[in-house]
Amino acid sequence: MFCKLTPEEEVRMHLLLRGVADDPNAQEMKKFIQHGSVTTYEHCMRVTRIAFWLNIHLRVHADEESLVKGAFLHDFYLYDWHHCSNITHWHGFKHPRIARYNAETVFRLTDKEKDIIQSHMWPLTPADIPHSREAALVCMADKMSSSYETVLERRAQRKENRR
């Protein structure tokens, strides 16, 4: 994807993720598929990287700590939405609040970080408008990442079908 961080930016991002991405609860996201064959953990890392890149390259001057933490935890819902019949049909609408609740339970969050998590699906969730530049960046990054992952998966499936 086009959002390539410099080695220094990559290190800075990972330093900001310390204590969050390596938390055993966050590691649970590796067990669940998000889009195609991409795990929720991989998706959250991609969204974090894109939001961080956008902040730098668009000169948004967002709070990097809140941006990175909120971006990484935006899908911290910890279930397989593909096989959860009571949630599946409403997952897109419900999971931001579930992710926020889970994140609040495990991590100390600022109000801005809570808003980032809860508003990342806007405009699908019209009541949850992003209230900060950090939340707007994560909302955009999530749409970019989801689109990319969905397109990649379809391409991979077409290739596989041709064999």
Stated pTM of the model: 0.87
Structure confidence at residue 127 (pLDDT):
86
CATH architecture of 7-80+88-162: Orthogonal Bundle (1.10)
Structure confidence at residue 61 (pLDDT):
98
Question: CA 97, CA 57: separation in Å to the nearest integer?
Answer: 30
Q: What is the pLDDT along the chain (163 residues), one digit of tens a residue?
A: 568 999 999 999 999 999 999 999 999 999 988 777 789 999 999 999 999 999 999 999 999 999 999 999 999 986 665 566 555 566 555 788 889 999 999 999 999 999 999 998 888 788 889 999 999 999 999 999 988 888 876 666 666 667 6
Structure confidence at residue 93 (pLDDT):
58
Structure confidence at residue 82 (pLDDT):
56
Structure confidence at residue 159 (pLDDT):
64
Domain chopping of the chain, boundaries: 7-80+88-162
Q: What is the CA radius of gyration of the chain?
A: 15
Question: CA 133, CA 149: separation in Å to the nearest integer?
Answer: 24
Distances (CA, A) of 52 to 9, 66, 73: 9, 11, 14
Structure confidence at residue 91 (pLDDT):
58
Question: CA 117, CA 104: separation in Å to the nearest integer?
Answer: 10
